[in-house]
Structure 1
Amino acid sequence: MSDTPPSASWPRPYWQPGEEDAVLQFYVFGKFDAELLIPSPRYGSPGLPAGVEIQRFQNAVLRQWEGYPLNGALGALLKEDASGTYEQARIAPEVLVVRGVLKDGASLDYLRDTMGVLAGMLDVGGTAILDPQILTLFTAEQWRRHYLVKDGAPPRNHVLILCSGEEAADRSWVHTRGMRKFGRPDISLHHVPERDVDRAGVLCERLVELLSLGANFGAGHKLEVDGVPEGLVARPGGSLDDPEFNNTHIAFRWPE
């Protein structure tokens, strides 16, 4: 995304119709004028796409909501990762909640337009943006650096890639969060040996790109992976209620 008016389309060159909707959700903390005038055209966005809406709350009121994102396990994680930004968001007078559900389609213009609105919100009083799908709370400057990229930030910037230990001492679980923004399942690579963790991370990045640009992997689809002669076989599963992903996922198991 650039800071100039022209808004080139964000196509999905590998698009095949999917069965899931794209889900967007962001919290913008700050203090805003009574009349909310968001300069999204400055960032190549005509405004929010159909299906995405803004709700405005007093932070003190929203804090009473059971699902308030700065409370609970997510709040504890955010406080540990970025205590200064967490406190800035916690004491902000207002919160703008941007969320919506969109049908799967052949372009990512809905994401481009939404990101342009978020950028505009930072110009009119926003001080921090929470993306709960990737468990990340950005300061305004961090958000701009991460997303205000010429021609649009790459899909990798919209997704979190994690590495966790598994029961076997020398094996890891490499997985993603955030693919619901694209209406696609997350990636789960199990049983990755220590020597292949970097290779698995690169593979995750490549799969994020393919899926976000419209590809789909059905059950039994085999991936050819350098250094893995047997390849990896896709096993779709999970549900939107799975707390590890808050999404369905495609599992691959690294061979012995």
Structure 2
Amino acid sequence: MSEATPPASWPRPYWQPGEDEVVLQFYVFGKFAPELLIPSPRYGSPGLPAGVEIQRFQNAVLRQWEGYPLNGALGRLIREDTPEAYEAARIAPEVLVVRGVLKDGASLDYLRDTLGVLAGMLDVGGTAILDPQILTLFDAAHWRRHYLVKDGAPPRHHVLILRSDEGGDRSWVHTRGMRKFGRPDLSLRHVPERDLDRAGVLCEKLVELLSLGAHFSAGQQLDVEGLPDGLVAQPGGSLDDPEFNNTHVEFSWPE
């Protein structure tokens, strides 16, 4: 994208005013010049939105922090899933921590602008980006493929959809990462094996709907093809819930 090209807005057609908050957090590992000049305009970003900031750390210093993301359960998961990216992050001299809390709004321009800054960081020394909200560490090439998509990566790219065994032939389909949109995560309980594909497609559609501003109220009926009685929304949970690190909306699949 040319630096002279004005960025296109990322609207949220279903948005309604509320008290929701957006949470963004990323770790960019690499080696950076003393004066950090990030070429974000080439990616359609004027810079970080108000409320999001960059903190710069020596990796060796940040490693002493109790919540250092390459340690503990998250570190073990990352090392198993993406060992080469994990090693690049482990040996990187520096870490840029990008984080902020923003009021929910009628566009996703804040996300567009933040992603443009992250892309620019990869051009000036970044080698890996960790998104702890979706438990994923990207090397530079993978991050560019995943997010540098014309007109913006689809909401599904920003969210992790998981399946957990509930016993018998039933599974729990759930998400992580919806706090980037100021929305609760999704929980589909008791999904039978025969309906797993349907539940996965439904989850992707609901991620898109919520990311574009929609809300579910308690008791709201959701029509689902193949389920005569549909599903019923039950918002709940808390930001301290370790399964989501977020509130969630639960739907229970019929017996």
TM class by shorter-chain length? over 0.9
Distance 2:103 2:205 in 1: 24
Whether 1:202 and 2:212 are equivalent positions in the alignment is no
Identity of matched residues, %: 83
After TM superposition, the structure 1 stretch with the greater mean CA deviation from structure 2, 156-165 or 4-13, is 4-13
The residue aligned with 1:112 is 112
Letter in 2 for 1:170: D
Instruction: Encode CA deviations 1:41-81: one digit per residue, 9 max, x unaligned.
Output: 00000000000000000000000000000001100110111
1:177-207 deviations in whole A, cap 9, x for unaligned?
0000000000000000000001000000000
SS in 1 for 2:180: helix
Quote the residue 1:183 is aligned against.
Answer: 182
**1:14 aligned residue:** 14
3-state SS in 1 of match to 2:129 = strand
1:133 matches 2:143? no
Q: Deviations over 1:3-35 (max 9, x none)?
A: 663300000000012332000000000000000
The alpha-carbon distance between structure 1 residues 47 and 75, as it changes in their structure 2 partners (threshold 3 A), is same
Matches within 5 A, 1:97-246: 97-167=97-167, 169-246=168-245
Report if aligned partners of 1:41, 1:116 keep a CA contact under 8 Å in 2. yes
SS of 2:115's partner is helix
The unaligned stretches of length 5 or more in structure 2 are none
Q: Which stretches in structure 1 are left out of the alignment for 5+ residues?
A: none
CA contact (8 A) 2:19 2:103 kept: no
1:84 is aligned to 84
Q: Does 1:55 align with 2:55?
A: yes
Whole-Å Cα distance in 2 between the matches of residues 19 and 45 of structure 1? 26
Task: Normalising by structure 2, report the TM-score.
Answer: 0.98
**Alignment length (residue pairs):** 254
- The separation in 1 between residues aligned to 2:188 and 2:140, in whole angstroms, is 33
The CA distance in 2 between the partners of 1:18 and 1:249, in whole Å, is 17
2: distance between equivalents of 1:50 and 1:157?
A: 24
Could you say what secondary structure the match of 1:7 adopts? coil
Q: Offset at 1:83?
A: 1.1
